[in-house]
Structure 1
């Protein structure tokens, strides 16, 4: 409701006022959306009475029900803000009241009544209030209504706004946001020209880095009456410069300074466009030559291209010092953007011809490109130098020959012929040092306070290591410290995180629910405590239901090792073993005298040292207790394939049932490797438009034997569906929990996760690849599941996923187990029809080469290239170029089927050229 309050209305209200101003009256009028009535009441009250009511207003705002912040019709209620401006004695008190959390929506109404009250009071601090409110506008995502209301207060108070990120962002939003339905506005250039804040706030758009993203997007174009996706900021600012509204030197300086600070390409793009729109003259470009020389080697690609173009214009005008060009060129020539580097080489070639007396200096700078990762760039630099080498003095030729040691592939021989030197013997074949053993698990939790801290951390970030420490700590501390000590430390955690430790509709299979059960069991000195809670009401009955369901589910697992099914308590997938183990603790903790779990791993991979398990079982026999069934089976599944003979002999001396089973397990060599086979999924519908992917390679797993442990068959049985899953996320961010179940059978873990790993490449998902470095440290043969998982991750959409695959492959390369041919074959299968993009793959493989795993990488490439060569896939020349570099590093001399045929083709396509290069390295 809007309107104004006349002086006659205020006078009449003062004469007829029958009750004093009170918080109750304010509250009633505000909650009924009667803003004119509330304004009249405030204006009709003398100033002394209003100020005297300020403490009551403050207290009322603090204690009011949150529902009262909304009006009767469901609209935001600004009525309490009128009480603030009408009663508070200072800007500080008013700003504090308006800044309370419950007052978040106070700006949703019109500022008219707010300002009318302020005018009536003739507040000298209104401008100060506006500044304080403006300072609080958040830097990210300010509300447009907040900005408009606060701006009205600032203007009424006659003060300039603070130049903060939040206020400037709100100003830009007001300028660029589309108008409401049916509204028309003046063109953007006119609104900016007439905006009183333009001189004050526009420089901040250049000076606050994050604001580049605000002006990089599209906006509503009033002339065409539609949304334009291209940024309009550069063109409008250039137009204001051209007409003289903005000073050209100042805007150009601000633009170049902003480019110098750098940032993400999206953030700097509008300033690149503005620089182009300004079209600086040669004089202006020469004045900034030193700035462009700084941008050329270091700035993002688009900015570096701008700098290169600008410097070249200065050079063509004869106003660029050669020293400046050479100093900027050397680091530029090793940039990854080949187009930029090749343009720089062409420029330097022209300069060398133009200034023959200084050609030696120029060509020594060109030699910096010998260190470029791309062979075609190295070759171009060598060819350029070769054209002018005859005019160089012997000393310069000698220095160029020394620089040619950085060349790779077939280029060292060509350089030796050019410079009249003998090609150096290839360096030693790179070898990775032996892989370090996996890190050990952190020390056990020693106190109840430390357990509480780890529980809180677990609520914020679940990790497998943290779960193992919490589980072991709870069981051991219950025996050592007792219920009272645990209650003091852990009850506040249960109270603070009820959604984690109490069952609700979305967490029924979560281990957190059963951990809550286990903790509550540990805190009850007697089981009747559950009945006391039950009598307390619905919450107690719910806890009792969960307790009974937990017991039934654990008993079912004990009998047959089965998890999952209708109304399941535990997930049927391997990560459900963790929830089952936690539930077993909840059931057994107060029923049996078991002072420790035996499955706690000794290493972060989940591996358990057989000697440690032997000590735990000896303790159990000495103290007269047996491990819990699921806990003991998990311990056996974590043992490595081989144990020290002394441990095997010690296990044979054990007499308890668990001890004898342990001895038999070691003697048999542990869990037999399951059978893992490649499984191809195809869309369930013939309409490819609705299929998530054209095909997906996954793996099926089945046990290699009948019988075995109770947990065994369900863990080792995976029958994939026949069609690809859309957006698979069964193990999202829980891969480490999955890996710890079978740390010496990583192929099984990879098979369960393979759909998610595939989606990294074929559906551009983000999470999942972080498990790969952990699997590389685990044990077991590399089968189709892990091979395809690595292949998919190398071609993932997001860089962090590709880097995880690189880390995993480098770790595998330092271990004796063969893996590279299987991964190479998987890559060829996925890339042959474009399912995985070679353009993503090659940079990741290059990182493996740089990390020193060149021997394994060559094995991978020799498996991948033969089936890929006939496909002619985009990116194949880059893969051949990398293969040439790797082949030279490992001194490979093996033939690759199909390579000679491509190398013998006529023509100068890059594919033929790179095939010839690789063939010449393999057959010198």
Structure 2
């Protein structure tokens, strides 16, 4: 039978791998080679959906056809690495490959294996199945694997996540593996390899054998029996730890280090590595290094100069336990070597600069204790070093050293200059095309406004030919974003695609136009987005989509020369004098702004009274838009809505078990307008009824925070109420990214209501540092205002900390940053609101907050009485809570 693709395809789709192999084996080599192009064309022409919709995956049969006909290893590798075929490697009957290879007398299987190894994945490697297939190809070609990251990850994954129920222990699998000596060293060299080990043995989805032997146990066992050289493994561990990695990626190597328990001689051989780890390594690694170096010191084999040099950065580390142990160690060394005690205590004095007051206090107390035995010049240098002490400690040091307490000037926040002006408008079609492409990748509110303004103005200026030349290629490049599909029906980008079609004269899709027209009509007649007759979002993001839909529907029906809602500032605010000029031009030229363009413009006006000249000029306008503008100014604009908190609790089934998101609770907010009517956009923007149960991973506004903020730039509480679920998820679900909204809201105006206060509190407790930094930036901008807000944030933070909805240990560094940036008065306001309920609840983080409160109180000279503080200070004992309470109480009353 001659080789025909239809026959091979039929057998492959039926899962008949032996049948495909027989077709190849019964042909001559000349026929196989001649058939190679047909195989490649047939595979490339196969509908990708066949690979997952077919009753039997045809890919294994296709792979056999590739091996049986490919003229070179390069051609075979190219086809086998195609997505559909690659997913089937583990399903291929390998004995068929060897039959075909023997029949063809292939001499390039080894090269094929190397090429496949070069493309092995380096991320999300689960069980090493791809490696297992490539390894069998290499073995058939009598070739060793290249030592690449993909090979090492696949090899290790196959060992620690074996397939099959009855597998020998990991120790035996490692011992018997033919590639152990070649590939194991790279496990210590490739960054992140330890994370694969950690996730396989401690993370979710662990596939440990029943023996429960872990990687470090198995390697240690092979070292003990001499299969692996102890010196080599210890050197590899030291090198891995010294080069650093993420904590979970280093943990398996730390456990292996502890399992091997290096001797004093072995520690001495890597003393400098341990010293570097103590100074710079992650906390857990530094603790191991400290223990080893201390053992070395106890045996007299650690050079004192090395110890002192290493100790200086250690004494400033954030891990208090590590620092305290280092101070105790140095005190012991000073007693052992009195001739160098001065150097030791000067090193201890480095801890005067530690951010924690209890560390500073410990170092100061130790120095004071030994002060009588120190030379005068050392005492003088210690007195100079005490200048960096904080809180109540400078006064104590001054009393001992006989120096004067120097009171540093309270840092002040620089005045906030306000939001920047909008960038220069887009003036060419080429620039517009570039900005639309950028918009597809990142939807910034400012860019949206520039693009919409330019699209309308360039079209009105008669530059349709330029638009027709530059914009259609953008539509073709991004059909999934700028075209309407089931997943983005009537999104702002899809509406923009329709508007571009209208502006360039391209044939419009009738169904899309009717949907947009219906949505605009529904919004105009009923003041509604979403529901029957409208696919637009009912949330604030739907306002942008409505405005773009309005452009798409009306662009060719009325020659509108400009949009009137384009803001004058990047926060979305619109200067009333500018809007007056635009409406005056409209009246003079005889055109009316589109309804929702005008409404968005009015919603962007500041709440403060307009200048008298603007109000006077507006009052004489006679057009409908001009009269509406004048009435809006006279009425004071949009009044503040009513924002109230709502507690969302997890959903439970009839048996009381949590169904869905497991949280103690989540705070949400309701919105109600203060008046009925006014603008069509008002009711939906200012009406919000969150569900009773928290939503899983909310992210509606995460990718376009600027769009949300710019709808109502002078009512930031509204945006915070709509987005509070996303801000809460930063803390209670460890999401990332939504904190970017807060600095944008801080640039806006309006009262800080409960939604924004809780949003800030949640974001101070976010897992990701970038989100916490955003909260710091927002807090600092708000602190430059005149309206008090920090007390509400402090009360929210205390409330959320009571059931660990927010972890205070995350929030504390952010509050310290705010204090050091000059907003100490606002931090004090926050702390005085947060401390009373936290003291009453006995929260474990209270000592840290009390310590920060002492530093802030000294900075601003506070004398505020804090309820519950005196009672905490009067408690018996010497716990850290009592010590810090006494310190703060003394600071406030002295």
Q: TM-score range by the shorter chain?
A: over 0.9
| 2:467 match | 486
Q: Distance in 2 between matches of 1:441 and 1:668?
A: 27
| 1:626 match | 592
Q: 1:262 to 1:635 in 2, by over 3 A?
A: same
Which of 133-142 and 377-386 deviates more? 133-142
Q: 1:231 to 1:444 in 2, by over 3 A?
A: farther
Structure 1 residue 617: Cα displacement: 2.2
The answer to whether the Cα contact below 8 Å between 2:129 and 2:158 also exists between their aligned partners in 1 is no
Q: 1:93 to 1:481 in 2, by over 3 A?
A: farther
Q: Distance in 2 between matches of 1:415 and 1:895?
A: 26
Match of 2:541 among 575, 587, 600: 575
Match of 2:633 among 650, 666, 671: 666
The answer to whether the Cα contact below 8 Å between 1:71 and 1:77 also exists between their aligned partners in 2 is no
Structure 1 residue 198: Cα displacement: 0.6
| 1:376 match | 358
| 1:9 match | none
SS at match of 2:671: strand
Q: 1:902 to 1:57 in 2, by over 3 A?
A: closer
Q: Distance in 1 between matches of 2:330 and 2:272?
A: 18
| 1:363 match | 345
Q: Distance in 1 between matches of 2:22 and 2:93?
A: 16
Match of 1:752 among 703, 717, 722: 722
Match of 2:415 among 431, 434, 443: 434
Q: Distance in 2 between matches of 1:405 and 1:228?
A: 60
Q: Distance in 2 between matches of 1:179 and 1:668?
A: 73
Structure 1 residue 464: Cα displacement: 2.0
Structure 1 residue 696: Cα displacement: 4.5
Structure 1 residue 730: Cα displacement: 4.6
- Alignment TM-score, normalising by the size of structure 2: 0.93
1:770 and 2:734 matched: no
| 2:827 match | 857
1:866 and 2:849 matched: no
1:635 and 2:601 matched: yes
Q: Distance in 2 between matches of 1:608 and 1:671?
A: 14
1:795 and 2:762 matched: no
Structure 1 residue 687: Cα displacement: 8.0
Match of 1:279 among 258, 261, 268: 261
1:397 and 2:379 matched: yes
Match of 1:547 among 513, 516, 531: 513
Q: 1:848 to 1:70 in 2, by over 3 A?
A: closer
Match of 2:530 among 564, 574, 586: 564
| 2:881 match | 911
SS at match of 1:78: helix
Structure 1 residue 720: Cα displacement: 5.0
Q: 1:620 to 1:69 in 2, by over 3 A?
A: same
| 2:437 match | 456
Structure 1 residue 509: Cα displacement: 5.1
The answer to whether the Cα contact below 8 Å between 1:838 and 1:874 also exists between their aligned partners in 2 is no
SS at match of 1:202: helix
| 1:79 match | 61
In the TM superposition, what are the counterparts of 1:147-226 in structure 2 within 5 Å? 147-180=131-164, 183-218=165-200
Q: Distance in 1 between matches of 2:868 and 2:384?
A: 36
- Alignment TM-score, normalising by the size of structure 1: 0.90
Which of 624-633 and 643-652 deviates more? 643-652
Q: 1:570 to 1:297 in 2, by over 3 A?
A: same
Which digits, 9 at most, give the CA deviation of each residue in 1:190-234, with x for residues without a partner? Answer: 2211211011000010011121112223459xxx99657987111
Structure 1 residue 258: Cα displacement: 0.3
Structure 1 residue 482: Cα displacement: 4.6
Q: Distance in 2 between matches of 1:773 and 1:99?
A: 46
Aligned residues, how many? 885
Which digits, 9 at most, give the CA deviation of each residue in 1:456-499, with x for residues without a partner? Answer: 33333323223222222221222235544434433344344444
The answer to whether the Cα contact below 8 Å between 2:518 and 2:533 also exists between their aligned partners in 1 is no
| 1:104 match | 86
| 2:711 match | 741
The answer to whether the Cα contact below 8 Å between 1:80 and 1:106 also exists between their aligned partners in 2 is no
Q: Distance in 2 between matches of 1:351 and 1:688?
A: 60
Q: Distance in 1 between matches of 2:466 and 2:857?
A: 64
1:471 and 2:452 matched: yes
Q: 1:746 to 1:32 in 2, by over 3 A?
A: closer
1:413 and 2:395 matched: yes
Q: Which runs of 5+ in 1 are unaligned?
A: 1-18, 531-542
SS at match of 1:676: strand
1:117 and 2:100 matched: yes
The answer to whether the Cα contact below 8 Å between 1:217 and 1:231 also exists between their aligned partners in 2 is no
Q: 1:76 to 1:219 in 2, by over 3 A?
A: farther
Structure 1 residue 784: Cα displacement: 2.2
Which digits, 9 at most, give the CA deviation of each residue in 1:854-909, with x for residues without a partner? Answer: 12111221222233322222211111111001111112222223322222222212
In the TM superposition, what are the counterparts of 1:718-733 in structure 2 within 5 Å? 718-720=688-690, 728-733=698-703
SS at match of 1:607: coil
The answer to whether the Cα contact below 8 Å between 1:178 and 1:219 also exists between their aligned partners in 2 is no
Structure 1 residue 452: Cα displacement: 3.1
Structure 1 residue 68: Cα displacement: 6.3
SS at match of 1:602: coil
The answer to whether the Cα contact below 8 Å between 2:14 and 2:58 also exists between their aligned partners in 1 is no
Structure 1 residue 573: Cα displacement: 2.4
1:293 and 2:275 matched: yes
Structure 1 residue 791: Cα displacement: 1.9
Which digits, 9 at most, give the CA deviation of each residue in 1:295-338, with x for residues without a partner? Answer: 11111111111111111111011000001001111001111111
Which of 280-289 and 667-676 deviates more? 667-676
Q: Distance in 2 between matches of 1:895 and 1:736?
A: 41
The answer to whether the Cα contact below 8 Å between 1:98 and 1:106 also exists between their aligned partners in 2 is no
Structure 1 residue 165: Cα displacement: 0.9
The answer to whether the Cα contact below 8 Å between 1:126 and 1:157 also exists between their aligned partners in 2 is yes
The CA RMSD over aligned residues, in Å, is: 2.8
| 1:829 match | 799
Q: Distance in 1 between matches of 2:490 and 2:6?
A: 50
The answer to whether the Cα contact below 8 Å between 1:561 and 1:710 also exists between their aligned partners in 2 is yes
| 2:569 match | 603
| 1:7 match | none
Q: 1:843 to 1:652 in 2, by over 3 A?
A: same
Q: Distance in 1 between matches of 2:432 and 2:280?
A: 48
Q: Distance in 1 between matches of 2:393 and 2:864?
A: 19
Q: Distance in 1 between matches of 2:53 and 2:804?
A: 58
Q: Distance in 2 between matches of 1:184 and 1:31?
A: 33
1:701 and 2:671 matched: yes
Q: Distance in 1 between matches of 2:753 and 2:9?
A: 71
The answer to whether the Cα contact below 8 Å between 1:218 and 1:231 also exists between their aligned partners in 2 is no
Which of 281-290 and 778-787 deviates more? 778-787
Q: Distance in 2 between matches of 1:314 and 1:665?
A: 79
In the TM superposition, what are the counterparts of 1:236-247 in structure 2 within 5 Å? 236-247=218-229
1:690 and 2:673 matched: no
| 1:13 match | none
| 2:121 match | 138
Q: Distance in 1 between matches of 2:732 and 2:144?
A: 53
The answer to whether the Cα contact below 8 Å between 2:51 and 2:57 also exists between their aligned partners in 1 is no
Which of 858-867 and 78-87 deviates more? 78-87
1:316 and 2:298 matched: yes
| 1:94 match | 76
